[in-house]
Amino acid sequence: MNSIIHILKTQGNDILNSIGQHITISLVSLLIAAVIAIPLAIILMNHKKIAEVILQITSVLQTIPSLALLGILIPIVGIGTVPSVIALVLYAVMPIFQNTYSGLTTIDPNLEEAAEAFGLSRNKKLVKIEIPLAMPMIISGLRIAMVMIIGTATLAALIGAGGLGTYILLGIETNNNALLIIGAVFSAILALIFSALIKGISKLSLRKIGIIFSTVIVLMGGYFGYRAIEQPKVSITIAGKMGSEPEILINMYKELIENDHPNMKVSIKPNFGGTSFLYKALKSGSIDIYPEFTGTVLESLVKTNKSASHDPKATYELAKKLLKNQEGLEYLKPMKYENGYALVVKRGFAKKYDLKTVSDLIKVENKIHAGFDPDFYQLKDGYPGISKAYNLEFASAKTMESSIRYKAIANNKVNLVDGYTTDPQIKEYDLVALKDNKEFFPPYQGAPLVSEKFITKYPELKTTLNKLAGKISVEDMQKMNYLVSVKHEKASKVAHNYLVKHNLIKRD
Amino acid sequence: MIEFKNVYKKYENNENTAISDLNLQINDGDFFVLVGPSGSGKTTTLKMINRLIKQTSGEILIDGQNIENLNLQEMRLKMGYVLQNIALFPNMTIEENITIQPESLKWSREKRHKSAMDLLDKVGIPQEYAKRFPRELSGGEQQRVGIIRALASNPKIVLMDEPFSALDPISRNQLQELVLKLHQEMKTTFIFVTHDMNEALRLGNTIAIMRMGHLEQIGTRDEIIHNPKNSFVNGFFRNQHNDDKKIKLIIDSQNCQEVDYQEPDLNEEDNISDLAQILRNKKSALVESSNGKVWKLTIQSLLNYLARDGEKDE
């Protein structure tokens, strides 16, 4: 509870911003869906067969998992608000269409007969009788759609459209329940508020509803029009994966670029989701830059039959060459720190047995009770490989979920775990990562990834972004991750402080 | 004048002809009543006049013009229509309901309002009801509004489809008087459908008795009473005087099952003898109850009901 209050205090503005984004995305989607679904139902109310086909189609759309839909949309329309809105519209069309259609087709046949017998024209009958009588059904369709949209819109965070989903995803990723609860509770509240609002609107006359409808459309049109005009000449989009580390890095990129090139405006999209989303987005030009690890490039982005080298420099060179040849991408220079696998013990334990490297573990191998992430436990680059390379045999080794293994070592349930060298928990729980003195683990160095087309257009950015080459040690990164994900400091502030301290930008 | 010339009507998926070779004339200003048991084709005949139902063959003429050559919407705007289930539009106020045809005829707002107020006065409904919604009125009041809604555009022809069958006897009585009064004042052609011979005799200047799609007899009230053309007319007339039991009793005793809405053979207000008549030729009969539901009644339903009814009597 305390941590929730702390986050609300320190990040209140960001949360408000997210709520704003969430509402905008949801309302735009609902309006578009209504503008499609309601007229469609009106047109098809006397064409039962076609209407049933449409109902089938919209129900099928509804069964497509939203993540898959977003994945399909990225190469077509890029990232950000547009694909999110498209996906939400596709989902919302069905309840609105279905309700409007059944509202219009279940009107008392006596009333239909009366209207017919009085010689009302088709339009008059529709406006005066059918739509008002179907209105309760239409409204309930809109409410169902709204609640669904607000819930599903949390996924928009995955593709950089922001919204409350950012907090939910971040909460899951970093095992931070406070963030998760903030995201979930606020989106639930939004759903309730909007559902009640729509119900309130339904009590107004058709004319007033029309006025409200068009006002909202005009306001939104104005807002987006203003935003479109506001865009500066050169705008660059930088995205990062889930978590604090990429967020800190892209804030550094942003600040360096804006510092060197005042005519450029950088927008950042932190917590953008998994590797493949980012990679697709980069290739489709929706984003311009994102930081990627050398190890990940060789593992999943390019095709290679060479076994991974354990030399960081060779790994980077190979990744750079393959990205250029196979994908037409430019891989700029890497930073100093490596964010690879590491074996981690408590500082006290390391001191007691004088452990500095993985090789040193041989002295205490029969005292080691290890807790490993299930992947690490099985991968040949993980536990099986390292125990062979260093000829280690631990007293016991269990698998446990990655999020709880640090808690396990902090509570002395185990005395050795796997981790990533820059994990903030290493600092949080006063742990040490043992040096991989035989260079067994494949190197993971971070470097900015851009398309060749982009960097040819703005070659000056190469110099700017390469200012970080060889900078940032493992300790620096660990500390910054700690400040952001444990102490809830703003990533932009942490990034700024680092750049100032290391004279990479002018002091302000 | 309205003329039917050799009009036939046959519904799809029904082997019997609903109307066969109907010929009749309705003079301007007449109060013309179509009467007959359910399934006699009286409502079908009525609805063919405003083309809610299209005849299979034959011609229907209004003032010498084939109605199929008239603009449908214009023609209907000049006709009033009163439905059995009243069917006031629940989303509109009483005034909006009354002036729905004048509005389509593009009358000015003042003229519409004045006409609505005059009509409310005429049927004894306070003017302040104009702003109320139909659900706030009693059944009898609602049907008064239903009637003046049909008169609002000063139509030459007003069609009424069993308008009082769902009302209680007192309201029915009052409304019968009311339509007689209105007819005298307005000199409009009223065409009125009923299954109640008493109602027919009370209201009609001209009465047409129908049975199974045939016109059995047409004539003035006196002709019908004093010279019934055949045993059916005579019997129908007499039957109505007997307090025969209504089919509603069978439905209420739950000896039948509800089915999706389809064209009913009978109304629950019809007599059980009508049901027996139909069940002699068909396995089952469809009966509509006043709430719009349709029930399927079989010989078994009838027998079960009669058996139980017998028990009670003992």
Residue A181 maps to which CATH number? 1.10.3720.10
Kindly state whether residues A301 and A329 are assigned to the same domain: yes
Q: Residue B108 belongs to what domain range?
A: 2-235
Predicted local distance difference test score (pLDDT) of residue B257: 81
- Whether B40 is covered by a domain: the verdict is yes
- Residue B129 domain-assigned? yes
Residue B25 is predicted with a pLDDT of: 93
A170-174, A489-493, B56-60, B114-118 — which is least confidently predicted?
A: A170-174
Residue A9 included in any domain: yes
| Judgement on whether residues B253 and B231 belong to the same structural domain of the protein | no
Domain count, chain B: 2
Q: Select from A178, A201, A230 the last residue of a domain.
A: A230
Read off the pTM: 0.65
**Inside any domain, residue A392:** yes
* Residues on chain A touching B74 (C-beta within 8 angstroms): 119
| Yes or no, beta carbons of A114 and B89 under 8 Å apart | yes
Q: Evaluate whether B287 touches B267 at the Cβ level (below 8 Å).
A: yes
The distance of A157 to chain B (nearest Cα, Å) reads: 43
Mean pLDDT rounded to a whole number for chain A: 85
Report chain B's C-alpha Rg in angstroms.
Answer: 20
Pair A127, A161: CB distance under 8 Å: no
CA distance A194 to chain B (A): 25
B241 lies in some domain? no
Question: Does the beta-carbon distance from A121 to B73 stay under 8 Å?
Answer: yes
Facing B81 at nearest CB: one of A117, A121, A132: A117
Token readout for A139 is: 């409204």
CB B32 within 8 A of CB B208: yes
Within 8 A of B100 by CB-CB distance, chain A residues are 118, 120, 128
Which residue in chain B is spatially nearest to A111 when comparing CA positions?
Answer: B87
CATH of the domain at A332: 3.40.190.10
Angle at A176 between CA A171 and CA A182, to 5 degrees: 60
* H or E element, residue A9: helix A2-10
Both A242 and A113 in a single domain? no
A29 Cβ contact partners less than 8 Å away, ≥ 6 residues apart: A84, A85, A88, A89, A92, A149, A153
Decide: helix, strand or coil at residue B256: coil
Q: Which residues of A touch B (CB under 8 A)?
A: 108-111, 113-121, 124, 128-129, 132-133
Whether residue B268 is found in the same domain as residue B126? no
**Helix, strand, coil share (%) of chain A residues, nearest 5:** 65, 10, 25
- Predicted confidence (pLDDT) per residue in A293-318, tens digit: 888 888 778 887 766 677 888 888 88
Would A51 be classed as within a structural domain?
yes
- Asked if residue B267 lies in contact with residue B297, where contact means CB atoms within 8 angstroms, the answer is no
Q: pLDDT value at position B110?
A: 93
Residue A479 domain-assigned?
yes
Interface confidence (ipTM) of the complex: 0.74
CB atoms near residue A489 (< 10 Å): 17
Point out the least confidently predicted range of A158-162, A465-469, B15-19, B128-132.
A158-162
**In-domain check, residue B257:** yes
Q: For residues B49 and B3, give the distance between their C-alpha atoms in angstroms, rounded to a whole number.
A: 10
**Residue A277 and residue A348 in one domain:** no
Q: Which of B100, B159, B193 to mutate to test the interface with A (most CBs of A within 10 A)?
A: B100
* CB-CB contact of B276 with B284 (8 Å): no
The two three-digit tokens of residue A377, written as one number: 């436990």
pLDDT computed for residue A78 by the predictor: 73
- For residues A475 and A338, give the distance between their C-alpha atoms in angstroms, rounded to a whole number: 10
Token digits for A97?
A: 């269409």
Range(s) of the domain holding residue A263: 234-338+446-501
Domain-embedded: residue A439: no
- Shared domain for A319 and A378, answered yes or no, is no
Size of interface A-B (CB pairs under 8 A): 57
Highest mean pLDDT (candidates A9-18, A272-281, A346-355):
A346-355
Answer yes or no: are the C-beta atoms of B184 and B161 closer than 8 Å.
no
Instruction: Test B83 with A110 for CB contact under 8 angstroms.
Output: yes
Q: Are residues B100 and B35 in the same domain?
A: yes
Q: Residue A361 in 3-state DSSP? A: helix
Enumerate the residues of chain A whose CB falls inside 8 A of the CB of residue B73: 119, 121
Residues of chain B with pLDDT under 50: 241-243, 310, 312-314
Determine the average pLDDT of the residues in A451-476. Answer: 87
Check whether residue B177 and residue B261 sit in a common domain. Answer: no
Residue among A114, A121, A129 whose CB faces B83 most closely: A114
* Residue-level pLDDT at A21: 84
**d(CA B52, nearest CA chain A) in Å:** 7
Q: Is residue B72 part of a domain?
A: yes
Is residue B174 located within the same domain as residue B266?
no
Given a cut of 90, whether residue A101 has pLDDT beyond it is: yes
Q: Tell whether A380 and A494 lie within a shared domain.
A: no
B242, part of any domain: no
Tell me how long chain A is: 508
Please indicate, yes or no, if residue A121 is contained in any of the structural domains: yes
Instruction: Classify residue A440: in a domain, yes or no.
Output: no
| Residues of chain B positioned with their CB less than 8 A from the CB of A113 | 52, 83, 87
Q: How do B65-66 and B57-62 pair as beta strands?
A: antiparallel
Mutual angle of helices B139-151 and B169-186, in 10-degree steps: 20
Q: How many helices (H) does chain A have, and how many strands (E)?
A: 24, 10
In a domain, A365, yes or no: yes
Question: Does A116 lie in the same domain as A224?
Answer: yes
Same domain (yes/no): B256, B299: yes
CB contact under 8 A, A114 and B261: no
Indicate if B227 and B149 belong to the same structural domain.
yes
Token pair for A487:
């102490």
Same domain membership, residue A155 and residue A210: yes
Same domain, A410 and A475: no
Q: A168 and A79 in one domain?
A: yes
Residues of A in Cβ contact (< 8 Å) with B79: 117, 119
Say if the Cβ atoms of B159 and A128 lie within 8 Å.
Answer: no
Which of A230, A256, A288 is the last residue before a domain boundary? A230
B79 domain residue, yes or no: yes
pLDDT-wise least confident of A143-147, A446-450, A482-486: A482-486
Q: Same domain, yes or no, for B30 and B154?
A: yes
Backbone region of residue B21 per phi and psi (left: phi > 0; alpha: psi in -120 to 50; beta: other values): left
Cβ A434 vs Cβ A357: under 8 Å: yes
Other beta carbons less than 10 A from residue A351's beta carbon: 11
| pLDDT (average), residues A110-128 | 91
- Examine the domain organization and report whether B183 and B216 are in the same domain: yes
Q: B72 contacts in A (CB within 8 Å)?
A: 119
Q: Shortest CB distance from B101 goes to which of A108, A113, A119?
A: A119
pLDDT band at A454 (very low <50, low <70, confident <90, very high): confident
- Distances in Å between the Cα of A362 and the Cα atoms of A416, A437, A442 are 13, 13, 21
Interatomic CA distance for residues B296 and B87, integer angstroms: 25
Which 3 state secondary structure label does DSSP give B65?
strand
Question: Are A282 and A454 a contacting pair, CB within 8 Å?
Answer: no
* A318 and A463 in a common domain: yes
Residue in A118, A124, A133 nearest the CB of B81: A118
Where are the alpha helices (H) located in chain B, listed in sequence order? 42-49, 72-77, 94-98, 100-104, 109-122, 139-151, 169-186, 197-203, 221-226, 231-241, 248-252, 272-279, 299-313
Query: Is the confidence at residue A252, as pLDDT, over 70?
Result: yes
* Cβ contacts of A120 on chain B, cutoff 8 Å: 100, 104
B259 and B146 in a single domain? The answer is no
What's the CATH code of the domain at B157?
A: 3.40.50.300
Q: Which residues of chain B neighbour A138 with C-beta distances below 8 Å? A: none
One domain, residues A76 and A96: yes
Question: What is residue A177's predicted lDDT score, i.e. its pLDDT?
Answer: 81
Contact list, B159 vs chain A (CB under 8 Å)? 117
Tell me if B52 and A113 make a contact (CB, 8 A cut-off). yes
Last residue of a domain, one of A195, A214, A230: A230
Whether the CB-CB separation of A494 and A438 falls below 8 Å is answered with: no
In the predicted structure, residue A241 carries a pLDDT above the cut 80 = yes
Domain count, chain A: 3
Residues B20 and B96 grouped into a single domain: yes
Same domain, A396 and A469: no
Question: Are residues B191 and B284 located together in one domain of the fold?
Answer: no
Task: Compute, in degrees rounded to 10, the torsion defined by CA atoms B274, B277, B283, B289.
Answer: 0
